[in-house]
Every structure is written in structure tokens, then in C-alpha cells.
Amino acid sequence: MPLLALLIAAAALAHDTLSVRWEPRVVHPGDVAVVFLTKLPDAKIVEGSAGGWSLTFFPYGDGYAALAGIDLEARPGKLTWRIGVVDGRDRPITASGTLQVRARKFPVQRLTLPREMVELDAPTLKRVEEESKRLGTLYATITPERLWRGRFTKPVGVSDPGEGFGARRIINGRPRSPHAGLDYSADAGTPVVAANAGRVALVAEYFFPGRLVAIDHGLGLYTLYFHLERADVAAGDRVERGQAIGRVGASGRATGPHLHFAAHLGQSRVDPAVLLQLKFPE
């Protein structure tokens, strides 16, 4: 083969390969992994999935990036990802691979709560189910634009690093669903701020969460603030990172004043502490 043809073939080959970088490649339940596609300035469609859930890409640097949430009950093993890009040539360029999910040890929390907060009567049970369905619908609603920027900030100005994410809970002697948030102990009335920019998606008073605010950061990412004494925002409000959205309280099922801070990415319950560590230079 003449040299020129060889060079052209090599160039075409290089061009047909996606430059994909995952950070990290080894993940644990509750993690947020980021996938970067570089050297892709003119892509028209970028699609993908990880572990069966779709990845929502946004323009980043000279390419694209997407966040993937590893649910707190994800099983150890391999998680398959696939990415496809259409950039004006006849056929899409695709790539696939796996991430390694390793086990993470979660604490076991034994709690004793008043019976009426644990053994629910039929109408309360119905209410709880409806509320959890409404939250599920919210998490499945993906706003196509990215509203967050840069780093995520701790939602309360206390020294407590937060605790209890993923804790396997035994309440009044019976195993219950794991704890999906980070609890910060703080005095009632302490201001609660938005972890990043977004749009207030829900302000409500639910049985377990009490007075709550949910912020939609776009692309399937939501942060949640539970047990508030009061909320100072309304659904539809645009908020900036660090903006006050309410006050710490003990509403709903809470043994005392604290902030329950949670994060959802697609259908995955992720560790808010991991979100706070995410580095995203703009």
C-alpha cells in the first residue's frame, strides 16, 4: 500500500476511535463517576448508558462529559457502559467497556422510635406510598440542560461532617430501607443553603421527610433537604449555589433538629459527601 493511503487509513482509524476517560474506573456504592469524551468539538448527538441507565451528556472542554450515579445498593461486579457519537459522518462512532464496582461497608444503625412513626396505619401507609411515588416521578424527570456549575457546597455552616449515608437501619428491632442521605446535626433555625445552582422542583410537607425542598440541578441530578423548620423558596424558583432556601428543623420523622441532605442522580441514590468532593473546573 502506498504511504499516503496508509496515512489516510491510519488517520481515519484514529478518528473513528472515541477518546473516553472515566474518573474513577473503580467505583463503590454511592459514588458519582464522571465520563469525559475529549477531542469531539463537532459532535451532533452523544448518547450512552451505564449499568442500564442512560447517561446525559453536556458540552465540556473540547468535548462532552456525563455523570453516572452508582446506587447505594449497587452490587459488586462489573458495570457495562456504552457510548455512541454521531458527528456528521455516515456512521456513528461507538465505544463500550466496564467499570468495576467494589463493595463498600456501611454502618448498621439501631434506632428506637415511637411506634406510630414505624408501624403505620393504612391511611398513613397510603400517604407514604403516594409521597414516595411522587418523589420517584421527580427523579425520573430529566431537565435537558445543566444548571449546576463548579463545586458543590455543604448545605449547612456547621463543623459536623455529616453521617449515616447508606446505614443499614434496624428500627425497633426490624431491618428497614437503608438511609439514603447524610445527616448534619445543627440547631433548629440554622440556615440551609442550596448545594449548587438549580431550580426548586418541589417544596412539600411529607410524612417521613417532613418539610422538604428538592432542587433540580439539571441532567437528572437532584439534591434534597429534609426535616426543615421552614422553607424560604417556592417551586419554580431559580437558586444559586449558597443561596438560603430554608431553616433546619425536626419536621417529619426526626429524633431532633438536623438536616438530612440527599442526592439523586437518575435512579441512583448517591452519597452527598462524594458530590461535595467532585472537582469540575469550568
Residues that bind Zn ion (CB under 5 A): 181, 183, 260
Closest distance between Zn ion and the C-beta of residue 154, in Å? 15
> Closer CB to Zn ion, residue 48 or residue 252?
252
Calpha distance 169→146 (Å, rounded): 34
> Closer CB to Zn ion, residue 71 or residue 183?
183
> Closer CB to Zn ion, residue 35 or residue 248?
248
> Closer CB to Zn ion, residue 194 or residue 262?
262
C-alpha cell at 5: 493511503
Check if the beta carbon of residue 212 is closer than 8 Å to that of residue 222: no
Closest distance between Zn ion and the C-beta of residue 186, in Å? 12
> Closer CB to Zn ion, residue 34 or residue 273?
273
Give the helix/strand (H/E) hosting 198. strand 198-206
Burial label, 5 (beta-carbon count in 10 A; 0-12, 13-18, 19+): exposed
Closest distance between Zn ion and the C-beta of residue 48, in Å? 32
Q: Evaluate the omega torsion of the peptide bond into residue 24 and state whether it is cis, within 30 degrees of 0.
A: yes
Closest distance between Zn ion and the C-beta of residue 264, in Å? 14
Closest distance between Zn ion and the C-beta of residue 182, in Å? 8
Burial label, 245 (beta-carbon count in 10 A; 0-12, 13-18, 19+): buried
Contacts (Cβ under 8 Å, ≥6 apart) of 160? 184, 185, 186
